[in-house]
């Protein structure tokens, strides 16, 4: 196995900028790798954790289960209650979108359940945010519109799926 080269602490700020740039260029693997390098030298770096979470969710279309598990792990490392609830909502929302893109049987019902979980997380985030930070409301409204405007996103009939019981 090839040994990784360590990033210097002085390079963390520039590396964070690069990670964000790679995310915006739709290169989540590169962004994830940079975040892992940052977290090796600064394990509690909150911005690296947030960028890592977003990079992982960018890959939900390709590897949903594996990336979802990694995102859950990274979420637990966030120290701020608002950030933890807000980004949990983003993870759930993006999982819902990934199910819709797969267009498999029951995808709309799964998407509905994950969107509701996302909205619950955004509601929780609102209890911890500053009055001038309305990001959680914007995300909540996006989820509500997805439910209201997409005829495929429907509440499940009968019992909830086992998968949904696996929560944070």
Shared domain for 22 and 40, answered yes or no, is yes
Mean pLDDT of the chain: 93
Residue 36 lies in a domain: yes
**Considering 41, 63, 78, which residue would you say is the last residue of a domain?**
78
**Confidence band (pLDDT; 50, 70, 90) for 159?**
low
Residue 167 has pLDDT above 80, yes or no: no
Last-in-domain residue among 22, 49, 78? 78
Q: What is the pLDDT of residues 55-83, one digit of tens each?
A: 999 999 999 999 999 999 999 999 999 99
Is residue 5 located within the same domain as residue 63?
A: yes
Residue 168 included in any domain:
no
162 pLDDT band, cuts 50/70/90, is very low
In a domain, 129, yes or no: yes
Per-residue pLDDT for 108 more than 80? yes
Q: Count how many domains the chain has.
A: 2
Residues 15 and 48 in one domain: yes
92/70 same-domain check: no
- Looking at the fold, whether 67 and 107 belong to one and the same domain comes out as no
- The CATH number of whichever domain residue 70 belongs to comes to 1.25.40
Domain assignment of residue 22, given as a range: 1-78
66-70, 105-109, 117-121, 156-160, range with the lowest pLDDT: 156-160
Residue 38 domain-assigned? Answer: yes
> What mean pLDDT do residues 28-51 have?
98
CB-based contact 49:16 (threshold 8 Å):
no
83: Cα separation from own chain's centroid: 11
Determine what percent of the chain is predicted with pLDDT higher than 90: 84
Confidence of residue 105 (pLDDT cuts 50, 70, 90): confident
Q: Report residue 103's pLDDT band, with 50, 70 and 90 as the boundaries.
A: confident
pLDDT of residue 84: 97
Q: Is 125 a member of any domain? A: yes
Distances in Å between the Cα of 65 and the Cα atoms of 91, 99, 139 are: 12, 11, 23
Boundary-marking domain end, from 30, 58, 78: 78
Residues 47 and 14 grouped into a single domain = yes
What pLDDT is stored for residue 165 in this prediction?
44
């Amino acid at each position: 196995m090839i040994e990784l080269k360590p990033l210097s602490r002085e390079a963390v700020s520039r590396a964070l900028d690069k990670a964000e740039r790679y995310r915006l260029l739709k290169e989540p693997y590169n962004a994830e790798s940079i975040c892992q390098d940052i977290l090796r030298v600064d394990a509690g770096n909150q911005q690296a954790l947030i960028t890592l979470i977003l990079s992982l969710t960018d890959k939900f279309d390709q590897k949903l289960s594996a990336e979802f598990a990694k995102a859950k792990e990274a979420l637990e490392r966030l120290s701020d209650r608002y950030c933890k609830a807000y980004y949990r909502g983003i993870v759930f929302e993006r999982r819902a979108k990934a199910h819709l893109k797969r267009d498999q049987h029951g995808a709309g019902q799964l998407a509905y359940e994950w969107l509701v979980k996302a909205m619950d997380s955004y509601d929780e985030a609102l209890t911890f945010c500053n009055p001038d930070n309305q990001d959680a409301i914007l995300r909540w409204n996006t989820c509500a519109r997805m439910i209201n405007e997409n005829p495929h996103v429907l509440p499940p009939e009968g019992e909830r799926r086992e998968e949904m019981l696996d929560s944070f």
